[in-house]
Structure 1
Amino acid sequence: MLELPAGMLDDDKGDIVGTAVREVQEETGLHLNIDDLVDLTAFLDTSTGNQVFPSPGGCDEGIGLFLYRGSVDKEIIRQLQGKETGLRDHGELIQVHVVPYRDLWRKTADAKVLTAIALYEMAKRDGLIRHRD
């Protein structure tokens, strides 16, 4: 299944942003500048705890979703397609797939992806995020 890089906070003492950066690096090989991340869940009402709960009736897992606003060279993106990554000693076998944003919502059933798209589009619609070309 196509999904976003994700990980647990267990070892990171609640550092959601640091976990996001680490997981992207482990699962794709990309090194992100933390200053280029936008916390999409921060746009939610504070009554939500600024998290998304994928299955509130079934578990108490809350997640944060981030938008990366930095740039990545086209050649690096090309090299990512089909790359095998992940921490083998943790049982991870990940194959990276680069999908154009306009097609992404139709190519996955991952609730994280679909929620991130919805949060991004609504924040952009409300002027909280400006579109970049």
Structure 2
Amino acid sequence: MPVRSSYDYAVIRVVPRVEREEFVNVGVLVSCPQAKLLVAGIELDPRRLLALDPDVDIDAVRLHLQAIEKICAGGVDSGPIGQLPPRARFHWLTAKRSSIIQLSPVHTGRCLQADAIVEHLLRRMVRVAAPRD
């Protein structure tokens, strides 16, 4: 019988002009200690971001988002934060900040397949639904 796992997640947002508080959801950060999972699923759509701010530096945004992925993966190339235990990395990444990359409040869920939760959350929180006929 499959066992339900609890997980925490936050939506990764790009806020190109912090003073306007407008943002685009670009990914999700998921922590599931039972499955030893800490992962960021990121899907940046530059067109959506440029609609909010035509002057946003897309390359800089990509570099910052890649840093989140590196910290999640841990290891030698992930810097000092990437050397922390996975749960500490999750809390560091979800700490409140007022920069171009921000994360939503942390939410909790339960799932039967932890490896499928990132795809589920990307579909619900990040991707734009296709228009209905």
RCO comparison, higher one (Cα < 8 Å, 6+): 2
TM value normalised by structure 2: 0.25
The alignment's TM-score, normalised by the length of structure 1, stands at 0.25
Higher strand share: 2
